[in-house]
Amino acid sequence: MRYAIVSDIHGNIESLERALALIGDEDTVLCLGDIVGYGPNPNECVRMIQARAQNAVLGNHDLAALENFGVEYFNDAARAAIAWTQEVLSDESRTWLNGLSYELRFPDFLLVHGAPVNYFEYILDKRTAARAFANTDAPLVFIGHTHIAEYWVQEPDGSIGHKHMQNGGELQLEEGRRYIVDVGSVGQPRDLNPDASFAIYDSSARRVEWVRYPYPIAEVQEKIHHVHLPDYLATRLESGR
Ligand code: ZN
């Protein structure tokens, strides 16, 4: 079975279209949330994920768009973008997002937006990674949320390893080790590579591949300006941060 796992699309339909074009028709598409927020095409992204993804979990920006969750912790640009998203979000998008759960458990892996149990926690260091491993018995967890392509591995002795995957690459899963895989972001990469990111998980080969791909950033920037979203949301796309 091949799974294509996308996350943090953030209303960037140009990037989502290109990601889906790279994903095979037989691949099962899974989405880790933050379909809306920041970007200029929230409804289009919801519709496209609704049509193509087999399953999706809720992200914090999706929840913020629905019910102002956590906006007091957002920076000015994120807050302005959520206010705009709330104005344009259709009833259909709202209803569909409202039906998403916080986690999905498959026989051999777990899907959450940020971390197991504490769904919107950021796994940014070995300490938070260790806590995340302790909060689940899943041997493999897929996350997004940080917009950074990387993975954390728990060795049989409990020690934690880490690797950035900002240029793409593969991970061969090994027996006895547990993994937290951050698939990176489709709509707003923040690991200093402006190319967008998603992951392919081949469950029979026990292999994860990070795919980095270019998309027309200038077109998204023009749309951001056109709907008067903050400038910063456009410029950060070209620096990947
Ligand atoms: Zn996000």
Low-confidence ranges of the chain (pLDDT < 70): none
Distance 156 CA to ligand 1 centre (A): 31
Instruction: List the shell of residues around ion ligand 1, using CB closer than 5 Å.
Output: 8, 34
Distance 72 CA to ligand 1 centre (A): 16
Number of domains the chain contains: 1
Distance 37 CA to ligand 1 centre (A): 8
The whole-number pLDDT of residue 219 equals 98
The whole-number pLDDT of residue 86 equals 98
Quote the tokens at residue 215.
Answer: 């998309």
The whole-number pLDDT of residue 178 equals 98
The whole-number pLDDT of residue 110 equals 98
The whole-number pLDDT of residue 167 equals 97
Domain harbouring 78, CATH code: 3.60.21.10
Domain ranges, residue 199 = 2-239
Distance 120 CA to ligand 1 centre (A): 10
The whole-number pLDDT of residue 36 equals 98
